[in-house]
Chain A
Amino acid sequence: MEDNTENLDNLSNAESAGKADERFETIIGLETHVELSTKTKMFCGCRLSFGEKPNSNTCPVCLGHPGSLPVVNKKAVEYAMKIALALNCRINEYTIFHRKNYFYPDMTKNYQISQFDIPIGVGGFVDVNMGDYVRRVGITRVHMEEDAGKLVHSGTTGRISEADYSIGDFNRAGTPLIEIVTEPEIKSPLEAKQYMITLRNILLYLDVSDCSMEEGSLRCDANISVKLKGSDKLGTRAEIKNLNSFKFIQKALEYEVGRQISLINSGKKVIQQTRHYDDKTQSTKALRSKEEAHDYRYFPDPDLVPININESWIKEVRDSIPELPNQKEQRYNDKFGLSDYDSSLLASDFEISCYFEKALASYDSNAKGICNWLMGDFSAFLNKDQISINESKIKPEHLAGLVKLIDDGKISSKIAKSVFEEMYLKGTDPNEIIKEKGLEQISDEHELESIIKEVINNNPDAVNQYKSGKVKAIGFLVGQVMQKTKGKANPTLVNEIIIKKLS
């Protein structure tokens, strides 16, 4: 290795990494792995599981016992087709599996069954909404493969090289995986993060994976390089592994942009290598350089036969694809008259949009009202507690009930806020809350009239002011009525009655 190629492996401080240098542009390509949520594994009948007793869901096939053979899970192929179609890919009507050969103890056969030159889907795209612009990211390929098992290494470091022994759990071995590879068309760490959020949302809509990043069912690697703006020549790329949260994706890539720019600015070269993101140090570290990279000796798996996908199968799968985020956005616009902004926010979160539609199912006269709660107070509460909407105690029909209570004039917006808080804490039906606490708005004219009469009699000054033309004095009188009814009086009605009485 020459001196000038010396690797500025870790920046002295992460701060200098974050600094953007306007002269450079960033080019990112992402490879995303998605664990499918089929009932059984990719090539055997074992049940998919998470967190169960180690090696309880294994068989001769996924343990790689001599003589065992793989058989393709048709459901997994359909899920892969669904994904490919939703990402606007062309389906290869003839697709085959290859073996990717490498030795590692988490691979029971020491080769992974994967796809190589004829993947199931090619040439698609995803539109990523960046707020003030849309980035169309090309999808190079969507391919099927199998996951490996999990190893636990003894010793304090958890590294295989420093362990006395390692133990293997092969429950995950053979889980169907889909790899989604983008073109190098992502232009910033923020776009990368936004792409992943968009992709995850589409996958959730398709219901093909639980997309849990903590459990590793959605994970991504990034290829990133920088180059001088306007230059045709691409920079040398680094591959960043272990990007298992949206936050890490952005942070790791921001660090990497800074590292590569610093290297170039100090006259050094970026080396093509694989790097690992460590959140503790918020930096990336070199794992191995590409020169030492494996020769995977890909060849068609002779144990499997080609999959022929005909038009009618593609149509069948295409027809099973549910409404996707952009279509949903359009529908919210057209059918419920929501603004572009509201529609896009609702549709861009699969869980929230499901919640929204469940709420509408029990009360569909005020979509905007439900949307406002979801985007306003409800979101604020969820953010504060860092939980998702499905983890909250409020049932969709109860949120709808709350909006209906307001619309029917049974409670005021002010009271509604305290009712909502109660619902959020206990998950109670709003109708029960207002009944129990006697919060129901008083809209009974007889009841109100006696109170108003009392207020008028007790406040002659305000009455005179009003009569002498000070219209604003009526606000004081209404306020008095509200005070006497502990906020329960219907203010519009009170206003009307006072005006009638004083005229």
Chain B
Amino acid sequence: MKLISMKAHELHELIKKKEIKAEEIAKEHIERINEADKKINAFITFKPEEIIENAKKIDKYIADGGEVKNFTGIPIAIKDNICIKDVNTTCASKILADYSSVYDATVINKLNKHNYLLLGKANMDEFAMGSSNENSAFGPVKNPWDLERVPGGSSGGPAASVASFEAVCSLGSDTGGSIRMPASLCGVVGFKPTYGRVSRYGLVAFASSLDQIGPFGRDVTDCINLYDVISGHDEFDSTSLDMKDIKDYGYKHGQDIKGMKVGVPKELMVKEIDSEVKASILDTIKILEKNGADVEETTLPSIEYALSVYYIIAPSEASSNLSRFDGVRYGYRDKDAQGLREMYRKTRAAGFGPEVKRRIMIGTYCLSSGYYDAYYEKAQKIRTLIIDDFKKAFSKYDILVGPTSPTTAFKLGERMDDLLLMYLSDICTIPVNLAGIPAISIPCGLSSGKLPIGFQIMADTLREDNIFKAAHFLESEINWKITPKI
């Protein structure tokens, strides 16, 4: 078996037994990236010499008797909005094209303790704003299943690199579906934890109340293991949950799903849903039913407003979060500008792409005096209703299930002129972020056009254990072995 086709937990066993070296794994992945990434464009920063050098260091560490943890020597791609000291963090934007981070994000600190192998910084939609990875200053990422199609966004690079065997695992960020949606379109597993489970320190903020870092992998086990490494309380993030006072349900592999209560919110089977997607989702639900889960249709009445609420709250927070990119202290600055105002204006006009500018303008408008009450405040109230809907549902069900994306991967450029259609891509994932609950997307089938379909499993706040149980079970039942041709 080629090393690049192996999962992290499989490689880990070999490394632990000293049957392979980190350097061999690294070399094979570098080779793969050199060959495939010309077409995929999943990486913004990729430095083969440094990877080899670091792999050698890890091998020496192991040879010297260092502990081999789950991700020791495992090549991982990191979305380019997560800070790594002395490595560029571009957020796929011209305004940060040459910006080198001055510190490590908390998730990177945690991975460093495992002696993971950084493979590179993965491409994305600029500042994580987008659903197709077409809004990147470094060019779009292509879907490994069909190079004329998008990988989904905004974590297109992290998803496509794992789907195309360039990376074993990756880290992405999910604000409105940015992990689950590309995972669905690329046929990999992508997981968004409960808000506050994973520290946001070092994640360049898009919408602070919604952002959450999470893992991509080619199976559920890799995602769980990676999540275990990156999660936990962090004193540098005030919104990080202190588990001292919270019951941790934990998770044990190999439980069956008999008696599990499963709700299928009818609102997630949106009218825009593709018939093939719908059929595949219903088939997957049948697997649950057949194996003893109690499945019934349910309702989340308020999530009809989720998309509207999201497109007020996320841009509002973003308009403030992105104001620090002004050319004063770091990043791109227009050199010819005369005076302060012009420097701000020209720097930001040239530094940001059109989607980012659009959202900054929407957000600025929503927060303006005279409009705040009508937009931002009202959106917050509806967000509370959405949270209540989920609470009510989870008082009855262990998990809620449905599609991750209403459609399979669409063609590059297809939705760039129809923004409402583009925004609709996230209609099934956005409610989860608004409620702060965890959700996973796992591959559940292929369309007739040989494009992957993703199945979404949601659980109550902090009940990741229920998600993992169902996802693990479905994964073994579906026995997903299909891979993209590239």
Residue positions of A touching B, CB distance < 8 A: 60, 63-72, 99, 101, 103, 105, 108-111, 160-161, 168, 295, 297-299, 302-305
Q: Closest CB-CB distance, A146 to chain B, in whole Å?
A: 14
Q: In the complex, what distance in Å separates the CA atom of A108 from the CA atom of B330?
A: 10
Residues of chain A lying within 8 A (CB to CB) of residue B237: 69, 71
Asked whether B329 lies within 8 Å of A70 as measured between CB atoms, the reply is no
Q: Given that A60-B103, A105-B340 are contacting pairs, would A305 and B238 also be in contact in the complex, using a CB cutoff of 8 Å? A: yes
> Given the interface contacts A66-B204, A69-B201, A103-B326, does A60 sit within 8 Å of B320 by beta carbon?
no
- CB–CB B208/A303 < 8 A: yes
B34-83, CB < 8 A from A:
81-83
B369 within 8 A of A: yes
Contact B209 A302 (CB under 8 A): yes
20 contacting pairs across A/B (C-beta < 8 A): A60-B102, A63-B329, A65-B330, A66-B89, A66-B99, A66-B324, A67-B101, A67-B200, A68-B201, A99-B320, A103-B323, A105-B326, A109-B324, A110-B323, A110-B326, A297-B319, A297-B369, A298-B367, A299-B367, A303-B238
- CA of A60 to CA of B202, assembled, Å: 10
A72, A108, A302: the one contacting B329 at CB < 8 Å is A108
Given A304-B238, A305-B238, are A168 and B329 neighbors across the interface (CB < 8 Å)?
A: yes
Q: A160-B340, A161-B339 are in contact. Are A303 and B239 (CB under 8 A)?
A: yes
**Set of chain B residues within 8 Å of A63, measured between Cβ atoms:** 329
By beta carbon, the residue of chain B nearest A304 is B238
Measured in the bound complex, the distance between the Cα atoms of B96 and A65 in whole Å is: 11
Closest to B240 in A: A69
Measured between beta carbons, the chain A residues less than 8 angstroms from B99 are 66
- Quick check: B238 and A297 within 8 Å, CB to CB? no
B: which residues have CB within 8 A of A? 81-83, 89, 91, 96, 99, 101-103, 105, 200-205, 207-209, 235-239, 316-317, 319-320, 323-326, 328-330, 339-340, 344, 364, 367-369, 372, 376
A111's nearest neighbour on chain B, judged by CB, is B320
* C-alpha gap A45/B404 in the complex (Å): 41
Q: What are the 10 A-B residue pairs with the smallest beta carbon separation, nearest first?
A: A110-B323, A302-B208, A297-B367, A302-B209, A66-B204, A67-B202, A67-B83, A64-B324, A109-B324, A67-B204
CB neighbours (8 Å) of A161 from chain B are 339-340
Is there an interface contact between A69 and B329, defined as CB atoms closer than 8 Å? no
Nearest-neighbour CB distance to chain A for B460, whole angstroms, equals 20
How far is the CB of A104 from the nearest CB of chain B, in Å?
A: 9
- Give A109 Cβ to nearest chain B Cβ, in Å: 5
A303–B238 alpha-carbon span in the complex (Å):
7
C-alpha spacing A71/B324, complex, angstroms: 18
> Which residues of A are found within 8 Å of B368, using beta-carbon distances?
295, 297
Determine the chain B residues whose CB is within 8 A of the CB of A297 once the complex forms.
319-320, 364, 367-369, 372
**Contact yes or no, A65 B103, CB < 8 A:** yes
Q: Are A71 and B329 in contact (CB under 8 A)?
A: no
- A173, chain B: closest CB distance, angstroms: 11
Q: A101-B323, A105-B340, A304-B239 are in contact. List 5 more A-B contacts (CB 8 A).
A: A68-B202, A161-B340, A297-B369, A302-B207, A305-B238
Out of B91, B208, B364, which one reaches A66, CB within 8 Å? B91
The residues of A that contact B238 with a CB separation of less than 8 Å are 69-72, 303-305
Alpha-carbon gap, A109 to B329, bound state (A)? 10
In whole Å, how far is B385's beta carbon from the nearest beta carbon of chain A? 18
In the assembled complex, the Cα of A101 lies from the Cα of B322 at a distance in Å of: 11
User: Given the interface contacts A105-B340, A108-B324, does A302 sit within 8 Å of B201 by beta carbon?
Assistant: no
Q: Report chain B residues within 8 Å CB of A65.
A: 83, 101-103, 330
Distance between Cα atoms of A334 and B376 in the complex (Å): 58
Closest Cβ–Cβ distance, residue A140 to chain B (whole Å): 20
Distance from B332 Cβ to chain A, minimum over Cβ atoms (Å): 13
C-alpha gap A155/B208 in the complex (Å): 40
Give A122 to B403 CA distance when docked, in angstroms: 50
Establish whether residues A305 and B239, one from each chain, have CB atoms under 8 Å apart when the complex forms.
yes
Residues of A within 8 A of B205 (CB): 66-67, 303
Given contact pairs A60-B102, A299-B376, A109 touches B369 in the complex (Cβ within 8 A): no
Kindly state the separation between the CA atoms of A305 and B324 in the bound complex, as whole angstroms: 21
> Which chain B positions have C-beta within 8 A of A66?
83, 89, 91, 96, 99, 101, 204-205, 324-325
Q: How far is the CB of B94 from chain A (nearest CB, A)?
A: 14
- Give the complex CA separation of A105 and B372 in angstroms: 26
CB-contact partner of A64 in B81, B101, B329, under 8 A = B329
A72 to B235, CA, bound (A): 10
Q: Which residue of B lies closest to A71 (CB)?
A: B238
CB-based contact B372/A299 at 8 Å: yes
Complex Cα gap A303–B204 (Å): 12
A residues less than 8 Å from B324 (CB atoms): 64, 66, 108-110
A297 to B368, CA, bound (A): 5
CA of A44 to CA of B141, assembled, Å: 37
Partner of A67, one of B201, B344, B364, B376: B201
Q: Which of A160, A161, A295, A304 has the most CB of B within 10 A?
A: A295
B316 to chain A, nearest CB (A): 6
A195 to B239, CA, bound (A): 40
Given A64-B329, A66-B91, A105-B340, A302 and B323 touching (CB < 8 A)?
no
* Interfacial chain A residues near B372, Cβ < 8 Å: 297-299
Shortest CB distance B29–A (Å): 26
Contact (Cβ within 8 A) B339 A105: no
A contact residues around B344 at 8 Å (CB): 103
Q: Which residues of the other chain, A, contact B235 by a CB distance below 8 angstroms?
A: 71
Partner of B328, one of A68, A99, A101, A105: A105
Q: Point out the residues of chain B lying under 8 angstroms from A299, CB to CB.
A: 316-317, 320, 367, 372, 376
In the assembled complex, which residues on chain B have CB atoms less than 8 Å from the CB atom of A298? 367, 372
Report Cα–Cα, A63/B367, bound state, in Å. 25
Question: What is the chain B residue whose CB lies nearest that of A149?
Answer: B329
Distance (Å) between the CB of B366 and the closest chain A CB? 9
Chain B residues in 8 Å Cβ range of A72 = 238
**Which residue, A65, A103, A105, has most C-beta atoms of chain B within 10 A?**
A65
B200 touches A69 (CB 8 A): yes
A160 to chain B, nearest CB (A): 6
Cβ of A103: which chain B residues have Cβ within 8 Å of it? 323, 326, 344
B residues near A168, Cβ cutoff 8 Å: 328-329
Give the docked Cα–Cα distance between A337 and B328 (Å): 62
A109 adjacent to B323 (CB under 8 Å): yes
- CA of A421 to CA of B238, assembled, Å: 59
A44 to chain B, nearest CB (A): 9
Contacting residues, chain B, for A99 (C-beta < 8 A): 320
**Cβ distance A288 to chain B, nearest Cβ, rounded Å:** 14
User: With the chains together, A67 CA to B235 CA distance in Å?
Assistant: 15
Inter-chain CA distance A134–B320, complex, in Å, is 46
Please, how many angstroms separate the alpha-carbon atoms of A297 and B326 in the complex? 18
Contacts of B316 in A (CB 8 A): 299
Contact B208 A67 (CB under 8 A): no
- B246, chain A: closest CB distance, angstroms: 14
| CB pair B369 A67 closer than 8 Å | no
Residues of chain B within 8 A (CB-CB) of A304 are 238-239
**A65 to B236 alpha-carbon distance, docked (Å):** 14
Nearest A residue to B208, CB-CB: A302
**Closest-CB distance, B95 to chain A (whole angstroms):** 10
CB-defined contacts of A305 to chain B, threshold 8 Å = 238-239
Q: Shortest CB–CB separation between residue A293 and chain B, in angstroms?
A: 10
- CB of A446 to closest CB in B, whole Å: 79
**Min CB–CB distance B85 → chain A (angstroms):** 10
What is the distance, in angstroms, from B461's C-beta to the closest C-beta of chain A? 15
Asked whether A67 and B340 contact (CB < 8 A) given A109-B323, A297-B320, A297-B369, the answer is no
Cβ–Cβ < 8 Å partners of A295 in chain B: 368-369
Per the bound structure, the CA–CA distance linking A188 and B34 in Å amounts to 77
Q: How far, in whole Å, are A79 and B317 apart by their CA atoms in the complex?
A: 30
B328 proximity list for chain A (CB < 8 A): 105, 168
Q: Give Cα distance in the complex from A66 to B329, angstroms.
A: 11
Contact across chains for B317 and A302 when beta carbons are under 8 A apart: yes
Assembled-state Cα–Cα distance A72/B82 (Å): 23
